[in-house]
Structure 1
Amino acid sequence: MKIVVDRARCTGLGICESFAPEVFEVDDNGDLVLSSETVPDGLESEVEQAVTGCPTEALRLEQ
């Protein structure tokens, strides 16, 4: 699955980072950085929680 970020919606709160720090990181400028554009094996649940937990709905998953 591919991780898609709507940069216009992302406010850099870092909730996604708290669910899946191996994949999501908010840098010092408040910008979201992905370690991978696809969901790494074994982290599907964490990434899905991050997508669901995003309060601005800036994240989605695509097949």
Structure 2
Amino acid sequence: MGKSKGSRITITLECECKNNKVNSINKRKKGIARYTTSKNKRNTPNRLEIKKFCSYCNCHENFKEIK
């Protein structure tokens, strides 16, 4: 028999900036940057927050768990 997934779940991380910056030099295109990853809900029961690269504002921003 196969192993069960256990307590790992798939989550979606979304950029906080959402292109609210006024400076149009750093903007590439309009949209919302999202990453998909997994986490162990026993070890990290709270919402996850990671600093990752946002391709829409072309800089490193905080990404928060939305799902």
Q: Same fold (TM over 0.5)?
A: no
| Pair member with larger Rg | 2
User: Relative contact order: is structure 1 or structure 2 higher (C-alpha 8 Å, sep ≥ 6)?
Assistant: 1
Structure (1/2) with the larger strand percentage: 2
Structure (1/2) with the larger helix percentage: 1
Q: TM-score, structure 1 length as denominator?
A: 0.25
